[in-house]
Structure 1
């Protein structure tokens, strides 16, 4: 009986608990990278509101959020971007264009710009509103530069 229970549980875990066995191809990878972008959007949104005066500037919060963005820029997310997980694949829902892979040297260059810009933001965001305002634009510009290459319009 114990052996049957272990076998059934193992099968259930493999069938339902492992995203790599998802019904749709690249489902787990696309879900992960979309969640990653949502986290960035959340952090940048608060900083942007502070920079625009739509939210009170909070040095500690600004510094923490900027450090989150910089830490995210340094993550190795290659596993989230397998070849074929783009919008030419009708089996998945993504805005990633095939150019994400065919223009990889340019994408890597844009990523390097993001790392630099987010590093400067992380160092300065907690040093006053003017420092936040001075540094946040470069982060937004770096994001936009990459998105123009690899993201289809919504």
Structure 2
């Protein structure tokens, strides 16, 4: 897990959120929470992705469970992980978060993208455990659902 304490400790107040302010410790917690959340997505997508690519043997039970996990993640209320003021630009933590301010400035566009991903995962959860062809057939819509947010609301990874 990325340690943010040294970097974030220099922040006094990042942005107003509701009736209070997002303070350094809160920024650290929300960024770590959403990174952990995305790691769960990545892990489960990796399981089915490796099967779809033929890199690992297709296992219906693992595929079905991974698809159900992805759907459960998509249905979680993650709002508290995304307070206004926790973007790359707001925090100055370019090496830690790639969240763009457009997440908040274009709302509800991101909510629509999340709905698209959830719909794709609802379908995927019904087919992933049937057979390899069904798993592969459902992967494109899931990938498109992920790209919907990542292309519009996440900064490109910078080369170092």
Asked if residue 54 in structure 1 is aligned to residue 67 in structure 2, the reply is: no
When residues 134 and 54 of structure 1 are mapped into structure 2, their CA distance, relative to the original with a 3 A threshold, is same
Counterparts of 2:84 and 2:91 in 1: how far apart (Å)? 14
Alpha-carbon deviations, 1:81-121, whole Å to 9, x = none?
Answer: 00000001345431000001011121111100000001111
Aligned to 1:65: 66
Asked if residue 138 in structure 1 is aligned to residue 138 in structure 2, the reply is: no
Structure 1 vs Structure 2 CA RMSD: 1.6
1:109-148 equivalent positions in 2, closer than 5 A: 109-148=112-151
Shift of 1:137: 1.1
After TM superposition, the score normalised by the length of structure 1 is 0.83
Shift of 1:136: 1.1
After TM superposition, the score normalised by the length of structure 2 is 0.80
1:75-114 equivalent positions in 2, closer than 5 A: 75-92=76-93, 93-114=96-117
Q: Is the CA contact 2:90–2:101 (under 8 Å) kept in the aligned structure 1?
A: no
Counterparts of 1:22 and 1:30 in 2: how far apart (Å)? 12
How many residue pairs get aligned? The number is: 134
Counterparts of 2:147 and 2:92 in 1: how far apart (Å)? 27
Range with greater deviation from structure 2 (50-59 or 86-95): 86-95
Give 5+ residue unaligned stretches, structure 2: 1-21
Shift of 1:127: 0.3
Q: Is the CA contact 1:25–1:91 (under 8 Å) kept in the aligned structure 2?
A: no
Alpha-carbon deviations, 1:125-153, whole Å to 9, x = none?
Answer: 00000000000111111100111111001
Counterparts of 2:84 and 2:108 in 1: how far apart (Å)? 15
